[in-house]
Amino acid sequence: MDGLDTAAALWWAVVASGIYHGINPGMGWPLAVSAALMDKSGGSLFKALLALATGHLLAMAAILFPFTALLFLAEWQREIQIAASCLVIGLGLYLLFNRRHPRFLARVPPTRLVLWSFLAAMAHGAGLMLVPIYLGICRTVATNAGHAAASDLMTGNAGIAVAVALAHTLAMTVSGGLLAFGVYHWLGLRFLSKSWFNLDLVWALSLILVGSLSLIFTH
């Protein structure tokens, strides 16, 4: 697989992870349905989705940007990616054996959806999952990183971090929004209560998979 194919695959991984987060109820789309039903307004649905997207985007940025600063050390890129991959695998193993939903999220009032979304994404390691993918994209772009100025590297990596966070959040918002829209307009809460699906096990396994693949393809 050449560099162009690798970069395309990594960007598709960014989008796919966003779609996965979007359909996962744990990322909040049922709260958007609840807000719309309580207010009896479709506008409330979109406002809630916007708030959830904002919180999720902030969480992605909070995780990705520290690695942007680290990557100006071009000679350590491989080691940084290995460490990040191990961290993702470790979190996946932890969540595999401890699948309880974080209790502190229940204490955040529904009027603070931005804060709730931010904390939910951080608690579930949503941003951390993107780190190995982001690092892989940086390596496909900055093939001559060792000869670039630190300021140029940080600027380029920051641009990639913004693009990754935006693409991921957009995919999450569209997929979760479509589910929320369908439940609100056609299926209702009765369907939601009878058809609730839990993706916590899949989420833990996906973290382990992403981290493992990143380790395999680190060279």
pLDDT, tens digit (0-9, with 9 covering 90-100), for 12-32:
889 998 998 888 887 888 888
Contacts of 29 (CB under 8 A, 6+ apart): 22, 23, 49, 52, 176, 177, 179, 180
DSSP 148: S
Burial zone of 197 (CB within 10 Å; 0-12 exposed, 13-18 middle, 19+ buried): exposed
Q: How far is CA 201 from the centre of its chain?
A: 16
What residue has token string 């939903």? 101
Task: Note the pTM of the prediction, 2 decimals.
Answer: 0.80
CA–CA gap between residue 125 and residue 173 (Å, rounded): 17
The answer to whether residue 195 scores a pLDDT higher than 60 is no
Q: Is 152 helix (H, G, I), strand (E, B) or coil?
A: helix
**Nearest by Cα to 53 from 119, 111, 133, 118:** 118
The answer to whether residue 188 scores a pLDDT higher than 70 is no
Contacts of 66 (CB under 8 A, 6+ apart): none
The answer to whether residue 210 scores a pLDDT higher than 50 is yes
Where do the structural domains in the chain lie, given as residue ranges?
A: 3-216
CA–CA gap between residue 58 and residue 56 (Å, rounded): 5
CA–CA gap between residue 204 and residue 199 (Å, rounded): 9
Which is more confident, 66 or 74? 66
Cα Dmax for the chain: 60
pLDDT of residue 53: 95
